[in-house]
Amino acid sequence: METIKNVDEKELRQLIQDVALIKEILSINKRDPEGELSDWAKKELEKARNRKIKISHEEVKKRLLKR
């Protein structure tokens, strides 16, 4: 596991702002104000569901735990 670096207050504030911006961008692109998926997100979800490669949740967990 990596060592956590000491972060000064200025860096911490910048990290918080960056995370807030990322959250905002992701929420705008995928959901409308009422919380419904946008047309883009619905198309992406449909494409993912129709992929020929099917993998179970358990298989994904096994693969991730091997790393």
Report H helices in the chain.
9-30, 39-49, 57-66
The C-alpha angle with vertex 16 and arms to 45 and 10, in degrees rounded to 5, equals 155
The C-alpha angle with vertex 11 and arms to 7 and 13, in degrees rounded to 5, equals 115
Specify the pLDDT at position 32: 56
Specify the pLDDT at position 35: 67
Specify the pLDDT at position 8: 82
Please report, in tens digits, the pLDDT of each residue of the chain (67 residues total).
566 677 788 888 888 999 988 888 777 656 556 667 778 888 988 988 888 777 788 888 888 888 7
Specify the pLDDT at position 67: 74
Range 8-46 burial, b when 16+ CB lie within 10 A, else e: eeeeeeeeeeeeeeeeeeeeeeeeeeeeeeeeeeeeeee
